[in-house]
Amino acid sequence: MSLSAVPLSILDRANAREGSSAADALNAVIERARRAEKIGYRRFWVAEHHAVPGIAGSTPTLLMAAIAARTNRIRVGSGGVMLPNHQPIVVAEQAATLQALYPGRIDLGLGRSVAFTEAIRTALRQGWDAADRFEEDLGELLAYLSGTAPIKSRPADGGVTPPFVLAMGKGVEYAARLGLAVVVGGPAFTGRRSGQAQETLQRYRDEFQPSQWWREPYVIASANVAVAETADGARDLLLPEAWSNTAARTIGDFTPLESVATIRERKKTPRQRTMVEEQLAAGIHGTEDQVGERLIQLLTRTGADELLVTTNTFDTDALWESDRRLAALFSE
């Protein structure tokens, strides 16, 4: 297959960086979106995380507005809005407002995750069981978006906002029944349970019911991807986030991204070293030839219609260079 036939997009979680302010982190996201637009990326999405020290992005729709205002063509979306945290009508109104301001450019990615800690769930007025009503909330949201709800959300003339479901398992089943696109994690298709993941996607395609948003199944595969002049350089790009994820699981604190030099100087337990290596192995990194080969394998295995790159790192210049190299790979 040819990578040039596959649209390429970015999800940026708005990670904080050691020694920089939250404003620096948010402005770096906007600048990355501007650069991504210039080199041909289709979408630029942002995420929702609450009270996480290492992430500056807590309100995706606000950040979407800032990005859309500073760009001209690239589609801007959420990856995603966590629906259990919000009333469906509020999400519909936010999406409709963005669509009215930036017609034809807004995507709405939706997730069913609840906050990791009890304190944050309490602050959001949600419990663990909030995810159980995802299908019901999703149906209500779609009714507002389509104008079929008992009341009409405003503004009502913003145009169509395509919904995406970020999930495997039950989320994929909901997407098939409701005729929505899905975003799936690429690593799920490379591990021991890759066969199960492929079966889940096949059921999605087999059971898909066309809707006003999507006439056919649409699958986006997400992955951490880093491209550099050398394989070691690309690996270093993924190291800061790999360490932050490891620290979150072993220390209990998702820290701002640190430099590669700082991470290498840290004393790590054997378990932490193993977890960092597992994180790196789950990503796709290397030179253009190495990354191109692995991406073709991933896209072939998933049958994905689009690739969503979820990479972030401490060095923003190196990150933007990786984005440029990857875009060039997809334009050949």
- Provide the domain count of the chain: 1
d(C-alpha 292, C-alpha 218), whole Å: 22
Among 227, 243, 225, 234, residue whose Cα is nearest residue 322: 227
Domain-located, residue 14: yes
**What residue has token string 């690309």?**
234
pLDDT tens, 37-94?
Answer: 999 999 999 999 988 889 998 999 999 999 999 999 999 999 999 999 999 999 999 9
pLDDT at residue 284, as a whole number: 96
Domain-located, residue 35: yes
Domain-located, residue 163: yes
CB 9 within 8 A of CB 44: yes
Domain-located, residue 280: no
d(C-alpha 213, C-alpha 215), whole Å: 7
pLDDT at residue 236, as a whole number: 98
Domain-located, residue 244: no
For the cut 90, the answer to whether the pLDDT of residue 29 exceeds it is: yes
pLDDT tens, 96-138?
Answer: 999 999 999 999 999 988 877 778 888 888 877 878 899 999 9
**What residue has token string 């790159």?**
309
d(C-alpha 317, C-alpha 297), whole Å: 28
pLDDT tens, 175-231?
Answer: 999 999 999 987 777 666 677 888 889 999 999 999 999 999 999 999 999 999 999
Task: Name every residue whose Cβ is closer than 8 Å to that of residue 136 and which is 6 or more positions away in sequence.
Answer: none
- Over range 147-161, report the average pLDDT: 83
- Alpha helix (H) ranges present in the chain? 22-38, 60-70, 88-101, 118-123, 134-146, 170-178, 194-207, 231-250, 260-265, 270-282, 288-302, 316-331
Q: How far is CA 293 from CA 3, 297, 298, 299, 300, in A?
A: 10, 6, 9, 10, 11
d(C-alpha 22, C-alpha 98), whole Å: 23
Domain-located, residue 193: yes
pLDDT at residue 129, as a whole number: 81
The band of 305, judged by pLDDT with boundaries at 50, 70 and 90, is: very high
Q: How far is CA 221 from CA 8, 168, 294, 300, 329, in A?
A: 10, 11, 13, 11, 17
d(C-alpha 3, C-alpha 97), whole Å: 34
The HSE-up count of residue 140 (CA atoms within 13 Å, CB side) is 15
Domain-located, residue 154: yes
Q: Beta partners for 226?
A: 285
Between strands 75-82 and 163-166, the pairing is unpaired
pTM, rounded to two decimals = 0.95
pLDDT at residue 132, as a whole number: 85
pLDDT at residue 177, as a whole number: 95
Its domain, for residue 122, covers 3-230+287-331
pLDDT at residue 89, as a whole number: 96
Among 163, 281, 309, residue whose Cα is nearest residue 222: 309
Q: Look up residue 257 and give its two tokens.
A: 């991204």
CB 57 within 8 A of CB 312: no
- Average pLDDT, rounded, for the chain: 93
Domain-located, residue 279: no
CB 164 within 8 A of CB 183: yes
What CATH number is attached to the domain comprising 113?
A: 3.20.20.30
Among 4, 44, 1, residue whose Cα is nearest residue 326: 4
Q: How far is CA 191 from CA 96, 182, 197, 232, in A?
A: 39, 20, 10, 23
